[in-house]
Amino acid sequence: MSLDDWFILSSTLFFLFITAVYLILFFENRGQALSDPAPKRFPLVSVVIPAFNEEDTIAGTIRSVLALDYPKKIEVLVVDDGSTDRTAVLAKQFKGVLVFSKPNGGKGSALNHGIRKAKGELVATVDADSFVRPDALRQMMGYFADERVGAVSSSILVHEPRNILQGIQFVEYIGMNYIRKNNDFLDSLFVTPGPLSVFRKSALIKVGLFDEHALSEDMEVALKLLTNGYRIKHSVNALVSSVSPHSFWELFKQRIRWYRGALMNGRKYAFLFFNPAYRNLGLFVFPINFIIFGILAVLLTRGAVITLGGIPLAWDKLVHLLALKGTSQASYVGSLLNPIYFATIGNFFLVVSLAFFIAYFSVSFSLSREKFRWVYVPFLVLYLTVWNILIGLAFFVGLFRELGGVSRKW
């Protein structure tokens, strides 16, 4: 076997191992995975909505927050971070909603401004382009009975997907919810997503609030909480839908920001890598995410070369098949269907990988309370193929921008 073959084989085994670990972990904890603990009390919650040029969605976001089914009145604070559109004007139309305007300082700055003004024992952060389900907040409260819990994350869905890109993101987000719940079981959930997360305010203050210079502030604050001894839980039943990028360029910019932010946090929290003091987080969850980035980067380079060279080869095979007549054609097709033809290491792992992939998404859809429909199949295929090229490209660009010291914006 060539070096290239060994790399593909070892990468495949690595991904199969990770998938198997998460599937086993999920089924071992299935009872906990599908339900959230019942709340013992309902403390005052302050909802902070940071906003920058969100005039198209801010009203819908506020309406969804005001419609939350929560036994106590919640405090709602909108922080307009130097918007140049009508975001603040629209937010001020809602009675009882506190609106603060400040010079543009980034999302972390807007969040911290709202948290400092908040009166609640708990602080929920909601992106200004997200829409929370009425029972979402109630579903998350039971976890805070444990004083060690510093934050609880929600399950995110794509809001009204309308094109192919949003359809792919729809299945991707559903898979992310499954991964977050498994990381919760490992006490290693290192992201508190912007669309909806709830924090114990005292914990945020203790760790120094959000890092105002971080691109992925939701990841940075989670790592800060975990490394200070707090736990982060995930509620599968607290659902929130978020507007996802609808064009390739918007999506590409979003992913560059995500992966560049991840690299920044990887550098800041480098002490976690393979550090037994942080148990599952240091020995398993945190390192494998960066190993996956590295593998995808190599596969991207390799895949581009193979794809460009493989198109003519595939065409030649098709022409060859169509040129065969009668029994020759049937014989050729029969050879392709022969089990011995597929009895190679590569094809064996391909079949196993597909089986694991089907199991992974079957569980993910059930966890997100979404019924699987055949219309999702093309999106899943694209997610398995083209999507990884996009991720690899975004990672490369994010890496080069970070190394080059390009300015950071939210």
Residue-level pLDDT at 389: 73
pTM of the model: 0.86
Domains in the chain, ordered, with CATH? 1-410 (3.90.550.10)
Closest by alpha carbon to 123, among 104, 142, 137?
137
Give strand ranges (E) for 171-305.
197-200, 231-242
pLDDT tens digit at each of 410 positions of the chain: 677 677 777 877 888 889 889 999 998 998 888 889 999 999 999 999 999 999 999 999 999 999 999 998 899 999 999 999 999 999 999 999 999 999 999 999 999 999 999 999 999 999 999 999 999 999 999 999 999 999 999 999 999 999 999 999 999 999 999 999 999 999 999 999 999 999 999 999 999 999 999 999 999 999 999 999 999 999 999 999 999 999 989 998 898 899 899 999 999 999 999 999 999 999 999 999 888 877 776 766 665 555 444 445 444 544 454 555 555 545 544 444 445 444 455 556 566 667 777 787 788 887 777 777 778 888 888 887 777 777 777 877 887 887 777 665 65
Q: Look at residue 107 in the predicted model and tell me its pLDDT.
A: 96
Q: Tell me the chain's radius of gyration from C-alpha atoms.
A: 23
3-state secondary structure (DSSP) of residue 197: strand
Contacts of residue 390, defined as CB under 8 A and 6 or more positions apart, other chains included, come to: 251, 252, 255
Q: Classify residue 326 as left (phi > 0), alpha (psi -120 to 50) or beta.
A: left
CB 218 within 8 A of CB 191: yes
Q: What is the pLDDT of residue 70?
A: 95
Distance CA 134, CA 70 (A): 8
Specify the pLDDT at position 383. 84
Tell me which residue has tokens 């982060």. Answer: 232
Provide the pLDDT for residue 332. Answer: 43
Report the alpha-carbon distance of residue 226 to residue 190 in Å, rounded: 7
Coil, strand or helix: which one is 50?
strand
Largest CA distance in the chain: 80
- What integer pLDDT is reported at residue 9 of this predicted model? 76
The C-alpha atoms of residue 248 and residue 165 are separated, in whole angstroms, by 7
- C-alpha–C-alpha distance, residues 210 and 191, integer Å: 13
Which tokens belong to 226?
């975990």
Rounded to the nearest 10 degrees, what angle do helices 3-28 and 345-367 cross at?
30
Instruction: Provide the token pair at 295.
Output: 């593998």
| Predicted pLDDT of residue 93 | 96
Predicted pLDDT at 387: 79
Phi, psi of 151 (to 5 degrees): -160, 160
What residue type is assigned to position 382 of the chain? L
DSSP secondary structure letters along 160-177: S--SHHHHHHHHHHHHHH
